Amino acid sequence: MTNSQTKVFHILAPGKKLEGDYCNFPIPENIEVGENTVIDSSATFKQYYSKLPLGLKLGSNITLNSTSLATEEDACIEIGDYTYIMGASIACNQFISIGRYVFIASGVTIVDSDFHPATPANRIADTIALSPVGNKKHRPSFTSKPVIIEDEVWIGFNAAILKGVRIGKGAIIQPGAVVLADIEPGQTVMGNPAKVVNDGK
């Protein structure tokens, strides 16, 4: 790989623009960032809408590589030290917490909500409210439940972590797994829905 092909990472700083970034807008100001946390592009925040005083809390030595951090207005995401996130999509309506030394691979999706109501009538009403002729203020309510990912978790490519899930310390989520329920510390899970293949004991 030549120097011209090497991806450039930037130190992440609230309210700053990234030099040479193809997305020409500043990093949000309502975030807290530790030392040596880096990002490849402000495109990470393209769908970041949090209006909380602190919508994103990042520890130190985090790498955000081709990742999307999408939040609603009242949402907060926390990510711990030395976590590496590559090409993942994290969509937060309420609260998502990711611990320290977590590795999240490309194609992973983490959500704390379905972002749409479950009943057929409300789904139709929601579709109309979100359409170009609709009014988003008239959206039906939907459920959110916090997602907690503890320290030293490994999440393989294309896995999905759904609302209300807690993943225990040191757990391994195999590629493509769909996690619908809590995972105990040290467990390895795979499949759809994810099932334990190694209890870590």
pLDDT digits (tens, 9 = 90+) for 95-153: 999 999 999 999 999 999 887 777 787 777 778 777 888 777 777 677 899 999 999 99
**Lowest mean pLDDT segment, chosen from 33-47, 83-97, 129-143, 154-168:** 129-143
Is there a domain that residue 1 lies in? no
129 belongs to a structural domain: no
* Closest residue by Cα to residue 55 from 34, 39, 38, 69: 69
- Whether 72 is covered by a domain: the verdict is yes
Q: What integer is the mean pLDDT of 20-28?
A: 86
Integer Cα distance of 38 and 65 in angstroms:
8
Question: Residue 23: which domain range?
Answer: 8-115+144-198
Q: Are 41 and 26 in contact (CB under 8 A)?
A: no
Residue 176 in domain: yes
pLDDT tens column, 64-80: 999 999 999 999 999 99
Give me the percent of the chain exceeding a pLDDT of 70. 95
Q: How many domains does the chain have?
A: 1
The phi and psi torsions of 5 (rounded to 5 degrees) equal -95, -10
| Half-sphere exposure for 140 (CA within 13 Å, toward CB) | 16
Name the maximum alpha-carbon separation found in the chain: 55
Q: Domain with 103 in it: what CATH number?
A: 2.160.10.10
Evaluate whether residue 136 is within a structural domain: no
Whether 84 is in a domain gets the answer: yes
